[in-house]
Structure 1
Amino acid sequence: MDPDGELPANKYGTPIKHDPNFNGPRSKRGCTDVIFLILFVCFLGAWGYVAFYGFTKGDPQRFLRATDSNGRKCGVDSEVLDKPYLFFFDLTACANPKTLLNGCDTPQVCVKECPSESWSSLPYRNNIQRFDARSIQSSLVCVDDRVKSTVTTVQRLTEVINNRQCADWYISSRPLYGRCLNLVGSLTQLNRPNLNDGLSSYQLMLSGWIKNRSDSDQYIEVMGKVIDDLYKSWRSIVVVLVITILVSLLYITLLRWIAGIMTWLSLIALLALLITLSLFCYKRFDYLKKNGPDEVNSSMIQGQLEELGNNETLFLVLTIVFGVIAAILFLLVVFLRGRIQIAITLIKEGSKAVSNVISSLFFPIIPWCLQALIMCWFIIVLVSLGSVGEQVFKARFLQTADCRCTGAYLDLKSADVCSPQLFSELCKSSTNGPCRDAGCHFSRIDSPSIVTYFHIFNAFGLFWAVWFVMGLSDMILAGTFAKWYWTMDKRKVPFFTVTGSAGTAIRYHLGTVAFGSLIIAICSFIRACIEYLEKKTKAYDNSIIKALFCCLKCFFWCLENFLRFINKNAYIMCAIHGRNFCTSAKDAFNLLMRNILRVVVLDKVTDFLFFIGKLVITGGIVFGAHFLFFTPNRLKLNYDSTVPLVVIAVGAYIIASIFFGVYSMAVDTLFLCFLEDCERNDGSVEKPYFMSVNLMKILGKKNRKDKKVK
């Protein structure tokens, strides 16, 4: 190893030689890895065929068909063949969060058509003179149509409503995906004169959450208050998140001046924390050794945590662990302080690059949108393929069923395959009407075996397409920041650098992106298959199988992260030199290995500083939002500022992560450019350094010609 910490050159390739014609990303280049681009295009064509097969052979509506409270699919099962729409007795029951897990907690029946008028039973129950049995029977919607004919008195009307056999009220609605809904204008209809006396009590329920909840349903009440708080504060949340974007931009800009202060203060604080923890654990260990475990008292955490707190060996181990980590960190700071300073300077350079090419911060919006479209496409194809095949219906007979079948269904038994149309024709009740407590119900879809392979193909397509978009984004950003670094006078960096880099990547290097994304997509797909197989084998509860899956998951997780590291650096080298994926990956790997100590220090210092930056932005935004927007409680929130602040914290951290993701790509690109600059040039008139003056000062180097390098 040489004095500067690099490995011998002959072990990891020859250092890059000076090229007088090289002044940044090469303009003269050819298409790379064309074979893999052709393969990717063919794959997209095959994916399109899979989608076409699903669209033409399948019927996604099968998944959207509604099911009533008795498990019958409206318009499909024998009893409801002529009733394609689902009617909800109480639409407000569909407004609580339990709906996502358990469905609407209200009777649901299949109807021939959705009600075109609003109706309420309350006027008839309150005023017996208004009671009109025939009119009420025509307006009622009941679980069983035969119940309608029994409603001839106010008492009977009240009885069937209390027993949830018939709907108490409803509003006019239209079918939406087979459901009778009216999401627009509900409250306006409630103000009609003929409904004021019957439906005014439901206005609050339809506009929000029911306030009169039972003690047994506190969860729903809490969730209702949470949503109410979000509804009241959503404008403030949006404003704060917009401010977060501006603060992130400002913070990244300020890092060129405060990166050093932040890094050294953070390292010192971390070292102090480790020493404090080590001393605390030692004092606790010494106390337990002399006095023994503490007695149980109600103020302490009970159970296993209390046992850990009295574990003498545990605190001895923690003392050693924290002490060793603190010692290692101290030695690293002392002996690698020079390389830490290089990492800090490169972070400052990254801040300059991002600030000078501000459009790079907003460029990721495009790949995010593309990834969202890919995900939507995957789901559509998945649903379409899942609906391909023959629908299988099976007979269902309850013990109390009044049903007799004739003809081909004379010996029909429960769970036998049947046809809803034939069942409705051949099976009748004792009164020659529709069967009671019996029917021919949808069971499953029998798909051809090829559909299974198409599902696998569709899943792999998701991985490859997503990684392709991410790889293309990395290459475009790499070309952008490489152009910035290799421009001697930063004021001459083209305004449309991002656009130019995108044009170069799309014109010449889509094949390289396809190659790199294919490699990592295969690894990600294998990981997903392992996760799937692990879930399938959980029922066996075999310790050997668990250990095997654990090892496989760990191995492929490490492999995927290594491949992502190789891919990113290969894209950077390809964006600079225009070579194919394998050559770029080899050059990047050798260059990094020749400077391995700098690589490790830069990676850890940048990750640590970026993490601190995310926490600073998130904490500052939450703290400021609390005092500027939610103190005092002007919005009259149920839980003060807790709910909106949690949403703001999550949103602020995500936004900060997005901005720092671009920043991280800038630092990685500038680092490779810096390493190449050190090998390619020597500061002479013929070979001037492109790095900044600050970097040259840290390395003890300078350009011999009197040039201003910014």
Structure 2
Amino acid sequence: MRGPLGAVIGRYPSSDGNAQMGGIIRHNRKCRDIVFLVIFIAFWVGMIVNSSFGFNQGDPLRLTYGLDYKGNVCGDKHANPGLRELELKYWLNPNQVYQSGLKDSQFKLADARSICLMDCPTPSEDSLNWVCDYPEGEIRLSMDDWIDRNYDYFEFLTPEMRNSSVNLQGPCYPVIFPSVNVYWSCQFLARPSNVSLTHWKQMGGMNIDADLIIDKSIHKSTDSRSSVLKRYMSDIGKSWPILIVCGGILPLFLAVIWLLMIRHFVAAMPWVTVVLFNILIVSVTMFYYLKAGWIGNDAITPIIGDHDPYVHIFGKGSSIICALLLF
């Protein structure tokens, strides 16, 4: 039989021809991949610069809330004007929303005029409601007064401004369609108020398209891949304490308890496992029946806050993450 293999390193001469002594490589060692080292250093410098820029200039609110036509993030108290508690994005001109939903249109919903509100406007039952732009210029109102007046200062407009508003050019726009809060955006419902439309036509207002496209245009935007991804990232950012506790600390604690039970109650553990597994399956089934609306009236919905129970809107959202976090 062959004897044991000795150390291989050092038995052969190095690439530069120097002999080895005592099984140890004696030639001079040095960094031979200078190009990669330079690239690696440049990578870390870029990462530091990029991270610094993100921490200083980034705004996590953009993952949740929309932007108004000025580029302000809804809910940003440092915006101009201040948008504290004005977290809902609302599109002022319904015809622009309609136009953005047409197949051959080059107009995008992101280009439609939008502002930030505290709640989604609804049509009046006996008159015509208005939503006006932020009070600026000739409009001598504070933001608080504008909010208290339900965003309506149409009565203060000059004749020229009123004529411009009747032609859907602002600063005030009619509330013809009801809307609900869907992922912090006011989703139009394609069922215009007959009373509001009658008052609008009596004022000589221009024609407003009331097709289902106005509903689908916003729905398509909130269900886009980028919007869904932003909501996922926002949910993770908001739920990190739950992820740490339920995904790290609690499983570790339960694992220790489980090992102790196996150590001291080994005979009963098969039945304990079967019972707990069945309880878990039944609980998950009941939970999804509740969220589907088969039990009670607690179906998963993208609509945020109170709304008409006959209004049903479906969307790709973060309810899956919420359900998974519970288990």
Higher normalized helix content (fraction of residues): 1
TM-score band w.r.t. shorter chain: 0.3 to 0.5
Q: Which has the larger radius of gyration?
A: 1
TM-score (norm 2): 0.34
Structure of greater relative contact order (alpha carbons < 8 Å, 6+ residues apart): 1
TM-score normalised by the chain length of structure 1: 0.17
